[in-house]
Amino acid sequence: MSVLDELQQLAERARAGSRPALEDLTSRILPKVYGLSLRMLWDVEDAHDATQEILIRVITNLSTFRGECAFLTWVYRVAANYLLTFRKTRLEEQRMSFSLFSEDLAQGLEDKAAREPQSALLLEELRIGCTMAMLSCLDRPHRLAYIVGEIFALGHQQAAEILEINPGAFRKRLSRARGKIVEFMRAQCGIVNEANRCRCHRRLTTARQNGRVNPAALRFARDEETARQFPIVAAEVRRLEDTQRAAALYQAQYERIPGELVRALRQLLARFELTDGGARATETEIKR
């Protein structure tokens, strides 16, 4: 049985009142919803808040899911509709653009920065934070199209269903977003193009000084072992056609699910009563 079929069956059992099915279902879609939220919003706290709200909407609207599309497509549609109207992020408040980002990347580069083995995790933190921030240079509709179409590599029909536009409009939106990301990385990113001056190891000292990388509170990097494997990933990325390198770099990233988000999910599920047809928020949850 495929993962999509399993999700479909879990959704049906949850609608019928099975709490174990609901718990299993939400734990499986949590990484997908959080991954989408984090890439859309960049800020970990914002992604945490958005993920909880999206999961509440999914849980309380299970009765409206009629199986006319794949369950995950429906979940992504719920998430997309919410994320498009979410409050402005810190980067959006700063009116982040590709030109401003280019200026920022040119500042504080060291010519001969040390490549210390113990810096692998910090470099991973910097890389992921940088590429996540890059997405914020796109407006939200184009950002969303790039994430679902290029990073998640969903088919055009499915992606169009998620965005609730026709496939032709989605292809145009994705093409524009892809073109901007590829052009920027081709000109700036030393991972995608080794001829570029910008290198993560040259930016690390400045990033630590300005608080963008905090060794005591990592936001994006997952673990030391994954971080140490990045040179292999980078080599694989550079073997691709240059138009494919940007997407491959994003796809190689694994989001770090905050432990507090998992705990919040468990507390959230405890505040729902199951009924025939889905879940209903208790009075406590309604007043949350």
Using CA atoms, how far apart are residues 84 and 258, in angstroms rounded to an integer? 23
Using CA atoms, how far apart are residues 24 and 10, in angstroms rounded to an integer? 8
Using CA atoms, how far apart are residues 182 and 167, in angstroms rounded to an integer? 22
189-205: b (≥16 Cβ within 10 Å) or e: bbbbeeeeebbbbbbbb
Using CA atoms, how far apart are residues 45 and 128, in angstroms rounded to an integer? 16
Using CA atoms, how far apart are residues 182 and 245, in angstroms rounded to an integer? 8
Q: Please determine, for residue 273, whether its predicted confidence score (pLDDT) is greater than 90.
A: no
Mean pLDDT of the chain: 90
Dig out the tokens for 62 from the structure. Answer: 């299970």
Torsion angle of C-alpha atoms 15, 19, 20, 21, degrees rounded to 10: 10
Position 287 scores a pLDDT of: 41
Position 16 scores a pLDDT of: 87
The single-letter DSSP state of residue 277 is T
Using CA atoms, how far apart are residues 31 and 248, in angstroms rounded to an integer? 19
Q: Please determine, for residue 117, whether its predicted confidence score (pLDDT) is greater than 60.
A: no
Position 197 scores a pLDDT of: 85
Q: Which residue has the higher pLDDT, 17 or 283?
A: 17
Residue indicated by tokens 């499915």: 158
Q: Find the mean pLDDT for residues 165-191.
A: 96
Using CA atoms, how far apart are residues 156 and 192, in angstroms rounded to an integer? 25
Using CA atoms, how far apart are residues 76 and 32, in angstroms rounded to an integer? 8
Q: Find the mean pLDDT for residues 17-24.
A: 92
Is the distance from CB of 230 to CB of 287 less than 8 angstroms? no
User: Which amino acid type is present at position 43?
Assistant: D
pLDDT band with cut points at 50, 70 and 90 for residue 281: low
Is the distance from CB of 172 to CB of 80 less than 8 angstroms? no
Q: Is the dihedral of CA 58, 255, 218, 43 positive or negative?
A: negative
Residues comprising the chain, all counted = 288
Q: Please determine, for residue 280, whether its predicted confidence score (pLDDT) is greater than 90.
A: no
Position 288 scores a pLDDT of: 45
The H-assigned helical ranges of 154-282 are 156-163, 167-188, 200-209, 224-228, 230-238, 242-251, 259-270
